[in-house]
A and B are shown apart, each in its own frame.
Chain A
Amino acid sequence: MTNAVLEVHDLSVVFETFEGRYNALNNINVTINQSEVIGLVGESGCGKSTLALAVMGLLPRPHAKIPSGSITFKGKNLLSFTEKEMEQIRGTDISMIFQEPLTSLDPLFTIGDQLSETIQIKLQRAGENVRWNSGKVKTEVLNWMKRVGLADPESAMERYPHEFSGGMRQRVMIAMALAAEPRLMLADEPTSALDVTTQVQILRLVKSLVSQVKASVLFISHDLAVVAQIADRVAVMYAGMMVEEASVHEIFENPLHPYTQALLASFPKEEEVKKSKLVSIPGSVPNIAHIPPGCPFHPRCSFAKDICSTTRPELRENSPGHRVACVLYDKS
């Protein structure tokens, strides 16, 4: 319990828009421990990005409402923080990297400047009053650029984001996110826009740096295979609900929830007969405006029972460290 870096407890998020009231997240419970990488997996509309934004305090106001729940970080509830307090935390204690670094890096500043800003803040919080262009900051910037594998850091510092390729920009983003040595890094689909060969490099980089800095990671992806490469634990989400959570080995060897099983089954297998039918899930992911009552997966579930259309199952521990939200496993 004291090992926990972030505790999300019973969090619900609702969007009130012009076109109606959407339940983006329903009673989410998840804990991230020290030096742990949690993979958050789900398809569109499942709420994984919403969860990350909620932790960062970046949900669109005033449309996003949080009717219940808490997010505990370093002993305090982030939901009760003022904007100013959140600003203190962002980029330093909790950092975030995104899918498309071109839109998250300021095009008007060189990457050297942007990295310097982060490092200056970190040093200042440690009590050292340095200027952003001081030698000490510059040394650290160069150090970090080497660590993320950017060649020729001296001249790279003077360049602007658009002068780099996607993979290199992502490395810059990672440097910025980790230079402040945060306790928690949120990564929202950081490799989805990259080539598969670049993805290998970036995943390895993240894993090694994160253990050096001793940060925890919430790694969000729609791709279970990517998550398999990097996560210690995996949480599967569907239509605003967490349906299963377990260690990465458990999830792949012993998936319990029908949705998780179906996701795993839909990967083309290596040994299979070519051009055979893939196992697919009938129907489609529900529109956030029309989430089915009861268990949101029930219309597509081959094991659905009558009770599934009326009662939403709770996330319960099935075996130590393995939680699932499905009536199939209700021991009562």
Chain B
Amino acid sequence: MGISIDRREISIILTILRRDRLSIFGIAVAAVFIVTSIAVRIFGNGLVPYDPTQVNMMVAFQAPSFQHFFGTDNLGRDIFSRCVIAAPIDAEIGFSIVVISVLIGTILGSCSGYIGGKVDETFMRITDVFIAVPTLVLAVVVAVALGPGVEHVIEANLVGWWPVYARLARAGALSLKESQFIEAAKVAGISRFRIILKHILPNNISPILVYATLDIGNAILYASVLSYLGLGAQPPQAEWGRMVYDGQVYLVNGWWISIIPGLVIFAVALAFNLLGDALRDAFDPRYRKL
């Protein structure tokens, strides 16, 4: 199931990642995204050329130029600065959703798959319910119920997100369960709990890691959509999805106000998708035979 991660493995993975131009793009953009997010949290507004909340009607509706890389919006705010400042919000939302889903889903799914029987059946029916409802619809409903705010966006998405990891982990546990080294652990008298913790979970990681990386892009996308719909981050806090919504009415004479934040969302989501794809190839034993 999993490939042991040791130094030789890591160098092989890095080499594969280096070779593919798309994956380089993915890594680059993702890296810029993460670094920017961290930097904004540390340095705050000092990082950007303009105060993101500063209204200045004199410079409103300026197209992208040297002074304003992404142009200005209807209130004269520098869109580039707003985009940069907004980065950590989506980063936090995206990573939180995925990381927490991975934790909850992997543990529950691994246990369910390993224990099997009625426990597993019941658990499967529960996840079925969640998976049956389209994630976005579910997230919107929960977000509306909880009210606006970033934490609520995270929670709303978590509801629909964790079952996928639970399924993945369960599938991995089901096949690992039959392995001879698991039988060997049973023969050694190891408790079921320890078997799950020390044998099932570590060997289940690879496919989950790959999927999670792909998923961060999706999570960011969903977070933006929720903000676009008015849930999540509230003005005057800058947030990409919100910016897309706010700029819609000005598409004719100020296309950059809406389109550019949209492109940023697209680029970041794409980057994580490409990165996840490349990771999956890197882990695939057949690909490596080359």
Contact = CB atoms under 8 A, between A and B. Distances in A.
The reply, when asked whether chain A contacts chain B directly with Cβ atoms under 8 A, is yes
Interface of A: 17-19, 60, 63
Interface string B14-26: 0110000000000
Contacts of A60: 289
Nearest to B289: A17
Contacts of A19: 12, 288
Contacts of B129: none
B290 interface: yes
Given A18-B12, A19-B12, A19-B288, 11 more contacts: A17-B288, A17-B289, A17-B290, A18-B15, A18-B16, A18-B288, A18-B289, A18-B290, A60-B289, A63-B289, A63-B290
Contacts of B12: 18-19
B19 to A, nearest CB: 10
Is the contact region of chain A dominated by helix, strand, or loop, or is it mixed?
A: loop
- The 7 nearest A-B residue pairs measured at CB: A18-B290, A18-B288, A17-B289, A63-B290, A17-B290, A18-B12, A63-B289
Interface residues of B, number: 6
Nearest to B8: A19
14 contacts: A17-B288, A17-B289, A17-B290, A18-B12, A18-B15, A18-B16, A18-B288, A18-B289, A18-B290, A19-B12, A19-B288, A60-B289, A63-B289, A63-B290
Nearest to A62: B290
Contacts of A17: 288-290
Contacts of A63: 289-290
Nearest to B16: A18
A25 B12 CA distance: 26
Contacts of B289: 17-18, 60, 63
Nearest to B12: A18
A297 to B, nearest CB: 27
A64 B284 CA distance: 20
B282 to A, nearest CB: 11
A181 to B, nearest CB: 36
A19 B289 CA distance: 8
Interface string B272-290: 0000000000000000111
A85 B251 CA distance: 62
B232 to A, nearest CB: 44
Nearest to B290: A18
A203 to B, nearest CB: 31
Nearest to A60: B289
A18 B19 CA distance: 12
A232 to B, nearest CB: 36
Contacts of B16: 18
Contacts of B15: 18
A18 B288 CA distance: 6
Nearest to A19: B12
A201 to B, nearest CB: 31
A60 B287 CA distance: 13
Nearest to A15: B289
Contacts of A18: 12, 15-16, 288-290
Interface in B82-131: none
Nearest to B15: A18
Interface in B129-160: none
Contacts of B290: 17-18, 63
B3 to A, nearest CB: 13
Interface string B252-290: 000000000000000000000000000000000000111
A45 to B, nearest CB: 16
A271 B221 CA distance: 76
A323 B16 CA distance: 45
A63 B290 CA distance: 6
A62 to B, nearest CB: 8
B17 to A, nearest CB: 13
